[in-house]
Each structure stands twice: as structure tokens, then as C-alpha cells.
Amino acid sequence: MAVQWKRRLARSKAGYLFLLPWLVGFFGLTLGPALASLYLSFTRFDLFRAPKWVGAANYVRIATDDPNFMASMRVTFLYVACSIPLKLAVALALAMVLNRGIRGLPIYRALFYLPSLLGASVAVAILWRQLFAGDGLVNALLANFGIQGPSWISNPHYALWTLVLLSIWQFGSPMVIFLAGLRQIPADLYEAANLDGASRPRRFFSITLPLLTPVIFFNFIVQMIDAFQSFTPAFIVSRGTGGPVNSTLFYALYIYQEAFSHFQMGYAAALAWILLLLIAAFTAFSFLSSRFWVYYDA
Amino acid sequence: MNVRIDRRQFLLTGVAISAAGFSARRAVAADARLRMAWWGGKARAELTQKAIDLYVSKHPGVQVETEYLGWGDYWARLSTQTSGGNSPDIVQIDIEYLADYATRGVLLPLEPLIPKPLDVSDFQPDLLGNGKVDGKQYAVPCGVNAGALVLDKTAFDEAGVALPDHNTTWAQFESIMAEFTKRTPRKGMFGSTDASGSEAVLETWLRQRGKQLYHPDGTLAYDQTDMTGWFEMWEQMRSSGAAAPAEVEALDHGEVDSSLLSQGKAALAFENSNQFVAFQSLTKDQLALAPYPKVDSNSKGGLYIKPTMFYSISSQSKNPQAAAELLDFILRDPEATVILGGERGVPASASVRERLRPKMDAAGDAMVDYIDGLGDLAGTLPPPNPPGGSEVTDALIAASQEVAFKTKTAAQGAADFVEKAKQILDRAK
């Protein structure tokens, strides 16, 4: 047995050697810190003094005695629930327009993709601040129609929606994936449907949509995981406060505040683990549900 | 001779060469490579950089890297750097954090460096005392300031409204500001900012009524009734147009550049006197200083003269001697102190203050005059904030917004806030 093992190891040594950079990265930069954060989530840790074990106290406080946790949950779920369907709808609509074989398609594709490249950046979030401020461009446009708009970003009723809008604007990457998915649908299905006299909506709902479900599913999962962790836009637009009145207190922003403004690293680690579990649960649920609505055989 | 280098030797030689290069570079720079960090805006950055450039030009071979950020980001970064063992040599420290940092052993006790190279012999003893923790000098004060209204005098003149002064009461303040909002020709400008979320202004208001923020034992020294009165006063100011409405106020994030005064949305800001320089550098209008309003004409002023901020040397510094030399230059050199002026407050060294006075610009004069003219409006220093204090500060901002946006009544907002503040303090004990 041992000899066999040894021989196998010798044979695969080169393989492991080549894997080494990745292994070092995985253990040193991903798994190690993740386990450390799991440990820290059971401690009280202020960065300078050694962590102090407090058992499940952090988790108990999150569950029973933290109004900001509930506020940030509400904001984050609202954001995820609103931004993803809208973003995917916009992405699909544009992909279908672009799929009609317009001339200069690569140029349009690149142009529409551009916001996605910029979207998560600080510069765009600052631009958003300017657009939706009380005396910003949006209100200047509305003024032409005699509408006096509020200061969108500093009003608790609207601030979150400006961020949802920012997220929808970054439809580029799901759009490109939809475009590839649309190309995969066999043309003969449409021909047959045409012969049978199927209307355009009918063709969309009976051919395009069902055959596109794997792509929709993929986009949905990727975007959902991303949206749960959204941080930059809220951080920049609210200047790190999550305000006004916690209306843009994204969960990731709340973790940041606890960790780096209040130096409660242990508590922040516990919050982070809850986010991880939540995302895992939603992803698992999505996969389970996919059996009922994703059609894999084209 | 046949030289053959196989792969292993080749690699080893490469490693040896780069290691040699690395250590050589370190040897040259080791004598004086310093890092200095502070929070603050553009004006502070420019002045400080100028003073440091002067130092470097006089001390060839010394390299000084500077890092500066806004208030919130600064503390996030400094704590991360410090826990990673990578703290800058010279750090700017606020009284709120001084004890936290000193007791955790990340600041250097300065006694071995005093009086040479760091000479603080003519610093005001009580100010120097504020830089001590457990009897050891961990920090030296940059200067002094006091709470002050920074007023846009040009805008007041335009509107034909007289500025508030040393005797203005809160009630008079409200009518002056409402009058301003009505009469100013500038579009979208209000008289006052809404300072209901400012702990410093709340503190002054409490002190005028014989109370304070915290008892010496670190418990909350005011109650729900006080807070209800506070929130109601500001509600009245908003409804009479004296103070900016919630939506406008929410754009102010407590930094000079986002302040409503700098944005031209309010004619004044509740600030500290040394920030006059930063505000004046952002506008062409002429600015002026005045104390916060009083509860009534006989009440105390509620203000106090305090160290603006401190410099400390990190215990992680590899070159504390060089750091102390630079610090001494910044605090006492005749040329450097003129460059820096009073941007970090009126200097704490008596000789520097004397030397500086004739060379000060209008902004500097206004600041020194303000501090000297406070008289009995200024009282004694309050006890330092307890642990958890900075979280209470944040909670007050959130509570003030809830009331201003009318998601809660003044009474409800006050009750919830006091409850929350007590919880935070309990937990932080």
C-alpha cells in the first residue's frame, strides 16, 4: 500500500508542483483567512488587542438586538429583488434587438457593454451623485417639464432606487451572455413556427424563452451573488454612511462600518458569515427550483 | 575554462543578485525614510506638504512620504495599518482615539525624545497634559481651537441681515436665520445648517443648561427630556425656514468640502475655529467667526478651548529619532510654523504664537482674535468620551435624520436615541 502511494506521489509530483501557485493562493489567501474570520466571529476583536473568545454572543446579538442588521437586510433584499429582474429584462430586450443582425453589431455590443466595465467603479458612483443631486442633471431635465424633482440621493424614499437604476444600467455582461444564448437557438424551430402561423409573442414565449432558460438561470445566479455583496455604489453615493436614515445601508456596507468605523471586527466577521450562509442558501434553493423551470435539451 | 551554469545555479545566482540589490537599497535609505499621516482637506495637505518639502530640502537624504485622508477613512486605514505592523512613523491623533491607541501600546512614550530633539518646554502645560495617558506623554498638541460658527459674511451683507454675535440667543438665532433665508438673493441658500445631528453642538447646548454629554464614569449625562427639547428646537428651525430641510442637510457628510456652507446651500456652519482656514480656502466670499448661540442672555457659553489634534510617533517606527526631529521642525521652526499658520489651531507653543502673530494672514488673525475674545463663554474641558462614544456620535446622526425626515416625532426619536445610546455604552464597557 505504502509503496503504491509513494509511487503515485512520485508520478504526480510534477503535477502538484505546477499546481503550487494556485494551492498557495487557495490555502494562504482564501481558505486561511476564511477560517480565521470564522474564528474571529466568535470573539471580540478590536484590531489591536488579542481577540477575546465570547462564544456565540455576536450571533445572538445579531439575531435579537440589532436594528441596523434588520435595516440592512431590508435594504439588501429590496435591492436584490428589484434590481435583478429589471436588469435581466433590460439585458434580454437589448440582446434581442441586437440579435436581429444589424450592421456594425460588434460596435453596438461594445458600446452597450461599456457601462458594465465602468459600473462598479468609483468614478461612476460619483457621477451618479452629481446626476441625482437636488441641483443635478436629472432635475434640470425634469424642470423643462415643469417638474421640481427632489434631491434623489439624499431622500430616504428615493435614494435606494437611484442605486437600483445604477445597477440596471450595468446590463452589459448578462446581455452578452443572452446574445450568445440566442444564437444557439436553432433557426428551424422559428421556421416551423412561422409555417404554423405563430405570432411574434407566441414565438417568444414558446421558443425563445424556454430554450433560453439555462442562460437565464446562469445570469440569475451570477447576478444574485453579486448583488448581495454590492458595496461600492452605496459607499460612494452615501459617503460611507448608508444614509439618509439607513436607506442605502447595504449589508456589505454595514459590515464595513462595524469593522472599520466601530472596530468591531469580531461582530463584523459574524455578519459576514451570515451573508455567506444566506447567499449559499439562496443559490442552493435556486438550483433546486431549476428542475422545475430550466429546460436543458434544445 | 569551461563555465557551465545549470538551471539550479542560474536560479541561485539570480536570487543572490536580487537579494544583494535589495539589501543595498535598504542600507542607503535606512537612515531617514519617514512616513507621516493625517486627516484633513486640501488646505491642510498643501500647507503640510510645503513645510515637509522645506524640511527635506534642508536635510538631504531624508525622505518623507505623506498620506492624508478624510476623517472617517483615516481611522479605518490607520487601525488597519497599525494592526498590520505597518503604521506611519508620525500620525495625527484625535483626543477621541488617543487613549485607545496609547493603552494598546502602539504609540511611543515621548519622554526619551524630550527635550532633544523634541523641545516642548514652552508649550502650555495644561495643553501638554491633554497629551498624557497614564502619566506618560504619548502625544503633543498641534494647537487649540473652540467650537465656532463659520459665517459667510458676504452673503449676510448681500441679504442685509446682521450677523449673530457673542450675545445671540437660540431664539434670536432662529429669527435671524429665517430672515436670511427669506431675504437672500441666492437661490437654494438657507440661513443655517441643521445641526441637530452634531454632537459638539448638542454638547454646547447641554453645557449652557448646566449639563454635559457624559458623567466622569462614562454614563450618559442627559435624558430623554433634554433630547426631546433639542429635537423640537431644530424642528422649529426647519419649519420656520431658518435651517436647511432634511433632504438638503443629508448631503452634508461632515467634511469641509461636502458642508452646506462650502456648497453655497447655507450661510453658516457649526464647526471648530481652526477650520476657518479650510473653509476660507474654498470660497471667494469673506467668512467670519462667532460663538454658538446661547440658551438665554445670562446662560454660560458652553464652549471650551481644547487641543485641536495631536501628533504622535508610532511605536512601530524604525527611526523615532528622525521622526522626532521632523516633528520638532513642524511644531517650532520659524519658517515652518509660518507656512502652517493656524490651520491645525492656534499653536500651543507660546514663543511660536508670539512670533507668528505679526505674520498671520486675515484668516489667522480672525482665529486668534476669536479664541482670545471668548472670555467666559469658554468653560472647563469635559471628561473624555467613554468607549463606544464614537458609536453614539453616529447614532445621533441617524436619529436626527429620522426626526428631520419625519419618520419619527421629536419625542419618539429622542426616546429611541437615548435608549440606544445607553445600550451602546453598556456594551462597550
B245 found inside a domain:
yes
Q: Are B340 and B263 in a shared domain?
A: no
Closest CA to B91 of B30, A123, B80: B80
Q: Are B416 and B296 in a shared domain?
A: yes
The pTM of the full predicted model, rounded to 2 decimals, is 0.81
Domain ranges, residue B200: 147-304+386-428
Q: Are B126 and B170 in a shared domain?
A: no
Which CATH number do you get for residue B109? 3.40.190.10
Last residue of a domain, one of B368, B399, B418: B368
Q: What is the mean pLDDT of residues A134-141?
A: 86
Q: Are B79 and B115 in a shared domain?
A: yes
From A235, which residue of chain B is nearest by alpha-carbon distance?
Answer: B73
Chain B, residues 395-424, CB within 8 A of chain A, namely 397-398, 401-402, 405, 407, 420, 423
Contacts of B402 in chain A (CB under 8 A): 245
Q: Are B245 and B347 in a shared domain?
A: no
Average pLDDT, chain B: 87
* Residue A116 forms contact with B (CB below 8 Å): no
pLDDT in tens, B284-297: 999 999 999 999 88
Q: What is the mean pLDDT of residues B270-281?
A: 90
The structural domains of chain A, ordered by start, are 67-293 (1.10.3720.10)
Q: Are B158 and B105 in a shared domain?
A: no
Asked if A174 and A288 count as a contact pair (C-beta separation under 8 A), the reply is no
* Residue B428 forms contact with A (CB below 8 Å): no
Beta-carbon contacts of residue B415 (< 8 Å; ≥ 6 apart)? B224, B227, B228
B9 found inside a domain:
no
Closest CA to B405 of B259, B234, B171, B265: B234
Q: Are B261 and B402 in a shared domain?
A: yes
Q: Are B362 and B248 in a shared domain?
A: no
pLDDT in tens, B349-384: 888 888 888 888 888 888 888 988 888 899 888 877
DSSP calls for A121-187:
SHHHHHHHHHHHSTTSHHHHHHHTTT-----GGGSTTTHHHHHHHHHHHT-HHHHHHHHHHHHHS-H
Structure confidence at residue B20 (pLDDT): 43
Tell me the β-bridge partners of B123.
Answer: B349
Q: Are B246 and B358 in a shared domain?
A: no
Q: What is the mean pLDDT of residues B411-425?
A: 94
Q: What is the mean pLDDT of residues A187-191?
A: 91
B5 found inside a domain:
no
- First-to-final CA distance of chain A: 48
Kindly indicate the confidence band of residue A119, based on its pLDDT and cuts at 50, 70 and 90: low
B248 found inside a domain:
yes
Tell me the β-bridge partners of B150.
Answer: B269, B289
Contact A245 B394 (CB under 8 A): no
Contacts of B73 in chain A (CB under 8 A): 240
B4 found inside a domain:
no
Q: Measure in Å the smallest separation between the Cα of B222 and chain A Cα atoms.
A: 23
Instruction: Kindly report whether the peptide bond that precedes residue B115 is cis, defined as omega within 30 degrees of 0.
Output: yes
Q: What are phi and psi of A68, to 5 degrees?
A: -70, -30
* Residue A49 forms contact with B (CB below 8 Å): yes
Q: Are B338 and B313 in a shared domain?
A: yes
Q: Are B68 and B127 in a shared domain?
A: yes
Mutate to test the interface with A, among B79, B259, B407, B419 (most CBs of A within 10 A): B79
Q: What is the mean pLDDT of residues A22-30?
A: 92
Q: What is the DSSP letter of A295?
A: -
Beta-carbon contacts of residue A120 (< 8 Å; ≥ 6 apart)? A170, A232, A233
Could you give the number of structural domains in chain B? Answer: 2
Q: Which amino acid is at B201?
A: V
Chain B, residues 54-73, CB within 8 A of chain A, namely 72-73
Q: Are B210 and B279 in a shared domain?
A: yes
ipTM score of complex: 0.74
From B390, which residue of chain A is nearest by alpha-carbon distance?
Answer: A262
Contact B80 A49 (CB under 8 A): no
Q: Is 50 exceeded by the pLDDT of residue A236? A: yes
Closest CA to B277 of B36, B41, B39: B41
From A151, which residue of chain B is nearest by alpha-carbon distance?
Answer: B247
Kindly indicate the confidence band of residue B8, based on its pLDDT and cuts at 50, 70 and 90: low
Contact A48 B80 (CB under 8 A): no
Contacts of A237 in chain B (CB under 8 A): none
